[in-house]
Amino acid sequence: MKAISLILTLILLAGCASTSGDVGAARNDWFGARYDEVVSRWGTAVRSTPLSDGRLAYTWVSEGPAPGGSFFPSIGIFGGSGGVGVGVGTGVAVGGGAWARCERTLFFRDGLVVEQMWQGPAAYCSTFRRS
């Protein structure tokens, strides 16, 4: 029972602490983008898979110095096959500064972004805006 309380506390803290960047606006910028435009900005995806409903899922991962501080909690929520999972993470200090990772999975239908999942510190992920 204590473990569940600790996990819920960490999730709440991570959710509160990750609001320093406007990752929602960055994510929304990419709805309707063409696959070629995403590749021209972010490079080749690290993973891809076709889905049974005809969509194509591509994942991009970026790592770099975290902007504006040394501790960036993040929360990721994901689901599939009837289950839901939650992950909590932090930036890692490297060479005296904070290191951050942003993972973006974009789902394409007819070559256009129709759905997305972003995981990572909001302050870092918000730097991947389209405009």
What's the pLDDT tens digit per position in 12-29?
444 434 445 788 999 999
75 pLDDT band, cuts 50/70/90, is low
pTM score: 0.64
Rounded to whole angstroms, the Cα distance separating 60 from 28 reads: 16
Tell me, what amino acid is at 19?
T
The secondary structure of residue 87, as a DSSP letter, is: E
Question: Given pLDDT bands bounded at 50, 70 and 90, which one contains residue 130?
Answer: very high
Confidence class of residue 131 from pLDDT cuts 50, 70 and 90?
A: confident
Q: What CA–CA distance (Å, rounded) separates 29 from 102?
A: 16
Q: Per residue in 91-113, pLDDT tens?
A: 444 445 688 999 999 999 999 99
Buried b (16+ CB within 10 A) or exposed e, 85-99: eeebbbbeeeeeebb
Residue 58 in this model has a pLDDT that exceeds 50: yes
Instruction: State percent of the chain over pLDDT 90.
Output: 54
Residue 20: closest CA among 118, 89, 130, 121: 121
